[in-house]
Chains A and B, each alone.
Chain A
Amino acid sequence: MKLKDHFVSDIPRRKFLNLTLKGGIALMATPALVSQLWSCKSPLPESMVLDLDPGLLQKIIQKALENGGDFAEVYVENRISRNISMEESKFKSGVFGISKGAGVRVIAGDKTGYAYTDELSEAKMLRAAEVASFVARGTKTVPPVDLQKTGRESFITVKVPLGDLADDKRLEVMRRANQAALEYDPKIKMALISYYDEIRGRTIANSEGLYLSDELPLLFFIVQAMGVGNNTRHMARERLSRHSGFEMFDKVSPEEIARKAAREAVVMLKAEDAPAGIMDVVMQNGWGGVLVHEAVGHPLEADNIAKKVGAFTGKLGQKVASDVFTMVDDGSLPNFRGTINFDDEGTQMKRNVLIKNGVLKKYMTDILSAKQIDMERTGNGRRESFRHIPIPRMTNTFIEKGEDNPEDILTSTKEGIYVQSLSGGSVNPITGVFNFTCREAYLIENGEKTTPVKGATLIGNCLDVISGIDAVGNDLEFGPGICGKGQMAEVSAGQPTVRIRNINVGGSRARS
């Protein structure tokens, strides 16, 4: 359904409770649960890009447009993934996944037809083209252009390819993280380590003549540490994720990630009840960027704008935020979690300034919504897998750094809440009503960070919150996340330290 809330969380949601259509927290089969380990015997790493005959792709596109339609596309994917989990110092499970298939899409005006197949035989792909063409019956056909091999700039470098890696290397980083977490403090009673990697080969061909292939590596490493105190527990977490080779762990060691998680777990055992009500909030740099991801990012995705229901509909060129607020989506940041060379429709990635000094400049589009609202293609057409229709999605979304010194932001805030990290949040993209849940937060008393407080929800409306941002630090940082909008996408969210006036904090006690 269209009205699903959009959420982003910092770890894969393991429990899919919601078996119905309703409620925004529907989790699809997430790639994070798909996985595989390496067989050491493997000779040369095979390319994940399948060797397809362009003549066949052309034939499928032609078939897809046989009944009418102005755009057709074939998307072929080949993914190998590995997911290992360690709990209670044991390697609890290892999952190796092979997923291969093709999706065929036809667009006729505002209509989209989509079909996919697990089998890459000519017969099955032609059948998918025929099913997808159903919606285009009776419309005029825009004749397809001959396919031409296209090149795209790459933003992803690999030094230690995942395909070559022995299992032991993967297990070793997990062991190291586990040990570092447990050794941090006797209060850490358990660590949960999750390792995921994948290589996704993509081939995209469309009726505009585009024909592209590439191979994307992805690594996602999560450490959760459980601290146990007197009658209290806290599950802390820290994550690292990049589109890169295994050299990711040379830059940030598994121990460093584990100690960060352990630190949070121990600190938060002293947490007291959070106060309830409207107050000022200072958000530390980094994953707090999930705030703009939810509150502003989703409402700026052009699908709801094209439908004229989105919260920012008709506000292009208008002042929507305070002067200090500039927001960017940039899928070309080297090796970032939200980076890809080209989106899942083949559009080149680039830096898109969405809001500049408070003025709305751009929406994030895919091919369909770009046409519907007569705007450029911004490179935001993404899909979870060949089973999904591409839709406008964020990549690396952040509040651009400002001029304030982060310490001054804190000291100039008399009282409120200092949010060091958030678990995640969600937004209704139509009304703009959002929420975030704090994982590590403190009281601010007389400009100082004091007592830690238990996980409270922060709520508000997107248009209010970006007008309420009155201080932006010079310390931009990012964090990795999983974004759900009916289908999953890997994203990063970033921000410098910011202050937001008048946010409602869902604490469990009255303010003193």
Chain B
Amino acid sequence: MLAEAEPDLKNLKMVIMDYKILAEQLVKKCLDKGADAAEVYIESGRDLSIEVRNGEVETVREAASHGAGFRVFVEGKTAFSHCNDFSDDALEKAVSSAIAFANNLTPDENNILPEDESVTEVEGLYDPEIAEVDMERKIEMAKEVEQLAMADERITKSSGAGFSEGDSEIVIANSNGLLKSYKSTACSFGVGVVAEKEEQKSTGYEYCRRRFFSDLLPPEQIAEKAARDAYELLDPRMVKTQKAAVIFDPDAARSILGGILAALNGERVIQGASFLAGNMDNKIASGLLTLTDDGTRPKGLGSKPFDGEGVHTRKRILIDKGILKGFMYNTIIARRAGVKSTGNASRRGFRSLPGIGPHNLYMAAGKDSREKIIKATQNGLLLKGATGYGINPVNGNFSGGASGFWIKNGKIVHPVKGLTVAGTADDMLNGIDMVGDDLDLTRSFTAPTFRIREMQIGGER
């Protein structure tokens, strides 16, 4: 147990703690302890989550926390440590453990830290208002969205509604003189409901997440979508095993995007563990597919001024009208590949080493309305959701469980159940033949409705 003395003083110390100064001091500490180069990543923040069900508060969870991650380099060898205890002893132990650890690992000339003075100006990342809004108001919002979703007579149960918010400050300092920080906020609310009919059950949920409290959508809109997603899929039918067109709803698009994204990871490409390796500047998809990663969009949920190791973010086209144009890199992997970091070092908090990942990834909108795409489909599946792992980034195989609607002669005829959908990345990406105009850029990982000419559907014999 820590000393009980002077609790007030401790509080005060926390409040006035300047993490930028601390980060610089800690970089120095790493060098003093024997590191040739070092990086300190400090994250501090506050989280609140409220869950309500059947009009009553069920859980309220709140906490403020902080932590630091240390990346140290000793003669080309690198190791990492993290620590959420900011006492001198604990910080000292974290630093010396990382250095001791580094000595055991394999040296690599590519193990370097970035030098990058520029910072991308991104507007709308921090909303001071969220924390000021009354707790009661937030509880009311969750209750209201639940009540509205339950108002539809086809909805029988609530599986809960919620409100959550968080703010965080990230500080990165390294021994190349880099020192950057930014603050960000996000808040969200949503609801999950169940529609029942005899023995059937169907679930739906919807949420809205924004950087600014005042940008949250009206609860009616959220409630209506959650309820519709649940009742629309009642009375589903199975169809025969066959090959047919598949229209991907934006809600199902992530099952494709995830695998493509993992295959665009520069490290997996170098290792030959990506189905896109060796395809730079080649046509890998239909001319209708353009994929962009944008770290700079104002108010974007994935936007940030710099990446997980302090390199400025940018907007990049990864696939341009079907031609593979770019992979994603962090500093170390970029050096290995003989290129420059693309500002895609990803970090899942202070406990994580920088990996590689996107900011706001989206598939460009096309020209067709969703209605037109459905109308143009003689026989096929409108895929609302796909379960499973998505496209396998190593070999491009895709197989998943499907939920959605069957389309016959340009019209939705009934919901489906118990179907599978499968294909290969090559066939799927090249088979995209219609792209919708309904792209929702408020999400950080998003696509419009699009159609793939033909996929294998598994169902009845």
Contacts and interface: CB of A to CB of B under 8 A. Distances in A.
Given A20-B445, A135-B59, A307-B159, A508 B164 contact: no
Interface in B153-211: 157, 159-160, 162, 164, 188, 190, 192, 194, 201-203, 205-207, 209
Contacts of A128: 63
A44 interface: no
Nearest to A436: B388
Contacts of B424: 508
Nearest to B352: A33
A468 to B, nearest CB: 13
A34 interface: yes
B82 A97 contact: yes
A277 B106 CA distance: 49
Given A18-B254, A190-B273, A459 B301 contact: no
A390 B416 CA distance: 36
Contacts of A14: 355
A423 B10 contact: no
Given A91-B106, A431-B202, A454 B397 contact: yes
B221 to A, nearest CB: 15
Contacts of A506: 388, 399-401, 420-422, 458
A407 interface: no
Contact of A93 (B78, B90, B243, B275): B78
Interface in A267-281: 274, 276-278
A434 to B, nearest CB: 8
Nearest to A126: B7
Contacts of A298: none
A40 interface: yes
Nearest to B267: A87
A278 B98 CA distance: 53
Given A33-B351, A95-B79, A508-B399, A3 B61 contact: no
A437 B8 CA distance: 54
A225 B241 CA distance: 34
A41 B99 CA distance: 13
B101 A111 contact: no
B273 A226 contact: yes
B388 A120 contact: no
Contacts of A251: none
A455 B396 CA distance: 11
A110 B422 contact: no
A468 B219 CA distance: 42
B235 interface: no
A21 B460 contact: no
Interface in B439-461: 443-445, 456-461
A113 B162 CA distance: 14
A276 B63 CA distance: 48
Contacts of A492: none
A271 B84 CA distance: 47
B273 A278 contact: no
A95 B81 contact: yes
B7 A121 contact: yes
Nearest to B94: A98
Contact of A90 (B102, B106, B392): B106
Contacts of A113: 59-61
Contacts of A510: 241-243, 456
B445 A17 contact: yes
Interface in A15-33: 15-23, 29, 33
A20 B273 contact: no
Query: Which of A17, A18, A113, A233 has most B Cβ within 10 Å?
Result: A17
Contact of A171 (B7, B79, B90, B104): B104
B93 interface: yes
A114 B98 contact: no
Question: Which has the most chain B C-beta neighbours within 10 Å: A226, A228, A277?
Answer: A277
Contacts of B261: 15, 17
A460 B419 CA distance: 9
A187 B201 CA distance: 48
Given A96-B81, A110-B58, A431-B201, A278 B460 contact: yes
Contacts of B443: 20
Contact of B459 (A52, A461, A504): A504
B404 interface: no
B400 A457 contact: yes
B79 A94 contact: yes
Nearest to B103: A167
A505 interface: yes
Q: Is the interface of A mostly helix, strand, loop or mixed?
A: mixed
Interface residues of A, number: 108
Interface in A84-111: 87-88, 90-101, 110-111
A18 B209 CA distance: 13
Interface in A486-512: 504-511
Nearest to A52: B1
A276 B458 contact: yes
Given A29-B349, A111-B59, A276 B207 contact: no
Given A29-B349, A460-B418, A168 B104 contact: yes
B272 A189 contact: yes
A433 interface: yes
Given A56-B1, A128-B63, A235-B273, A426 B159 contact: no
B61 A99 contact: no
B389 A437 contact: yes
B294 interface: no
A53 interface: yes
Nearest to A428: B203
A393 interface: no
B54 to A, nearest CB: 9
A182 to B, nearest CB: 14
Contacts of A110: 56, 58
Given A87-B271, A115-B61, A387-B65, A457 B388 contact: yes
B26 interface: no
B124 interface: no
Contacts of A5: 387
Nearest to A31: B351
A17 B242 CA distance: 31
Interface string B339-362: 000000000110111010100000
- Chain A CB within 10 Å, residue with most, of B79, B243, B389: B389
A389 B243 CA distance: 46
A268 B41 CA distance: 42
B1 A51 contact: yes
B121 interface: no
A472 interface: no
Interface in B323-352: 348-349, 351-352
A52 to B, nearest CB: 5
Contacts of B301: 19-20
Contacts of B100: 37, 39-41, 167
Contacts of A117: 63-65
Contacts of A115: 61-63
Contacts of A19: 301-302, 444-445
Given A1-B162, A2-B159, A123-B7, 19 more contacts: A3-B159, A16-B357, A18-B254, A52-B1, A87-B271, A97-B351, A115-B61, A121-B10, A122-B4, A123-B11, A124-B7, A124-B10, A277-B241, A435-B400, A457-B387, A459-B401, A504-B418, A505-B458, A507-B458
Please name the 4 residue pairs, one residue from A and one from B, whose CB atoms are nearest each other, closest first.
A506-B420, A123-B7, A276-B458, A3-B192
28 contacts: A1-B205, A5-B387, A19-B302, A20-B443, A20-B444, A22-B206, A33-B348, A40-B100, A51-B1, A52-B1, A95-B81, A96-B80, A98-B82, A117-B64, A123-B10, A168-B104, A190-B272, A232-B395, A277-B458, A307-B159, A309-B157, A424-B389, A430-B194, A430-B201, A434-B387, A506-B388, A508-B399, A508-B424
